[in-house]
């Protein structure tokens, strides 16, 4: 049995931050039935409480007397990314509540509160936090997850069993156990989010771009599925890196990712015992290879690099240029296309890159929209 700080069945501690006594007392009254409750009437007191004791979740009013709620949210998420935050807002401020979600809030609540919606949102957020805390703990303490295939298989079996008990309603447990992928995908998605929610969003966007490319190439259905999955998991090895932050994971002017190269091998070792398609493994193994042979880990060249890995290599580099995420400067579409086109024939397969540029220019969906809905 793996133990973490917030166990299933223990009462979470919630900090209610609101300067108005009415909504603050209403929230405290409702939450007391299933949470330990603390409260603060301004940002200064909220930060003092956070510095004094472990807080699992914060309900944060957007308008505080000493600071804007979003500014406080950014500071909290920067220093304590594991603390979940729910924005409390009126109908008139929905746009900034959505901005809060972009900065890491788990959801938002509309005033006046609907008690059912409030309790459901808090409980969903806490359920998710239990799963993410559990996976953070596993990623910190079980290096066998990226050990030999035998070690990794044993470590994953432990993680999968306990993760299932945290995430599946008892009546669905047997049915879901029959479909390995139905339990594996949420687990791997949660592992990406437990590392950094922006890493999950990046992975989702890269998978979206790869899917757009698949529809323009003559790929079999099984290749298309392996591509979508491999694109989603291309950076799964980054979940093994302590203190990984997507905002610091920049592409250098040389076109090389600044994060440690070890993430490629670790990603391959992590998925080895999971029974995923061999093409998915190839994508993870080769998405940093370069057309001119100057990439890593093996210096593969041109068409020696598997086709699906060449697609994901382009998609992930493009997303690093255009990612609209906190702490990053995103290039507009045209500038990103100009920049990535400079690397045709050196980093990327020129024909695939030309197709990719056509595909993103014609895509009706903005990359900003391709983000995972929080607190599900």
Please, which of residues 290-349 interact with Fe ion by CB under 5 A? none
Residue 217 to residues 122, 223, 232, 289, 311: CA-CA distances in angstroms?
Answer: 44, 11, 19, 21, 11
Say if residues 8 and 29 touch (Cβ distance below 8 Å): no
Closer residue to Fe ion (CB): 133 or 235: 235
CB of 293 to Fe ion, least distance (A): 18
What character string, x for contact with Fe ion (CB under 5 A) and - otherwise, covers 210-249? Answer: -------------------------x--------------
Distance CA 57, CA 126 (A): 8
Q: Smallest distance, Å, CB 214 to Fe ion?
A: 20
CA angle 188, 247, 274 (to 5 degrees): 15
Q: Residue 168, SS3?
A: coil
Q: Considering the complex, state which of residue 235 and residue 279 has its C-beta at the smaller distance from Fe ion.
A: 235
Residue nearest to Fe ion (CB): 235
Least separation in angstroms between CB 238 and Fe ion = 7
CB of 134 to Fe ion, least distance (A): 25
Please say which residue, 162 or 249, places its beta carbon nearer to Fe ion. Answer: 249
Identify the helix (H) or strand (E) that includes residue 49.
Answer: helix 43-52
Does 196 interact with Fe ion (rule: CB under 5 A)?
no
Q: What is the DSSP string of 280-298?
A: HHHHHHHTT--TTS--SSS
Q: What is the three-state SS of 315-350?
A: HHHHHHHHCCCCCCCCCCHHHHHHHHHCCECCCECH
For the bound state, the minimum distance from the C-beta of residue 248 to Fe ion, rounded and expressed in Å, comes to 14
Q: Who contacts 351 (Cβ-Cβ below 8 Å, separation ≥6)?
A: none
The residues of the shown chain that bind Fe ion, judged by CB under 5 A, are: 235
């Amino acid at each position: 049995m793996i133990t973490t700080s917030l166990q299933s069945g223990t009462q979470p501690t919630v900090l209610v931050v609101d300067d108005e006594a009415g909504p603050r007392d209403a929230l405290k009254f409702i939450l007391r039935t299933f949470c330990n409750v603390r409260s603060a009437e301004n940002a200064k007191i909220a930060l003092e409480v956070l510095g004094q004791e472990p807080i699992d979740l914060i309900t944060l009013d957007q308008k505080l007397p000493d600071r804007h709620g979003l500014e406080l949210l950014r500071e909290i998420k920067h220093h304590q990314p594991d603390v979940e935050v729910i924005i409390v807002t009126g109908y008139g401020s929905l746009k900034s509540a959505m901005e809060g979600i972009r900065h890491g809030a788990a959801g938002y609540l509309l005033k006046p509160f609907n008690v059912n919606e409030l309790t459901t949102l808090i409980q969903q957020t806490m359920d998710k936090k239990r799963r993410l805390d559990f996976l953070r703990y596993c990623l910190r303490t079980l290096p066998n997850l990226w050990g030999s295939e035998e070690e990794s298989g044993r470590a994953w079996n432990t993680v999968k069993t306990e993760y299932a008990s945290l995430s599946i309603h008892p009546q669905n447990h047997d049915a879901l156990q029959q479909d390995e992928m139905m339990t594996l995908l949420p687990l791997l998605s949660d592992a990406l989010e437990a590392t950094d929610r922006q890493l999950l969003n990046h992975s989702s966007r890269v998978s979206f771009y790869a899917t757009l490319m698949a529809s323009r190439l003559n790929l079999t259905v099984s290749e298309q599925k392996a591509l979508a999955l491999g694109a989603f998991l291309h950076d799964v090895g980054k979940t093994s890196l302590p203190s990984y932050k997507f905002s610091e994971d920049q592409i250098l002017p040389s076109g090389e990712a600044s994060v440690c190269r070890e993430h490629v091998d670790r990603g391959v070792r992590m998925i080895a015992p999971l029974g995923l398609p061999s093409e998915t493994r190839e994508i993870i193994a080769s998405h940093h290879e370069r057309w001119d042979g100057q990439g890593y880990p093996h210096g593969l060249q041109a068409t020696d690099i598997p086709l699906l890995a060449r697609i994901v290599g382009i998609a992930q580099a493009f997303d690093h240029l255009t990612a609209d995420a906190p702490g990053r400067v995103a290039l507009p579409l045209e500038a990103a296309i100009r920049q990535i086109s400079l690397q045709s024939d050196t980093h990327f397969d020129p024909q695939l890159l030309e197709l990719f540029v056509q595909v993103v220019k014609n895509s009706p969906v903005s990359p900003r929209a391709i983000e995972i809905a929080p607190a599900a």
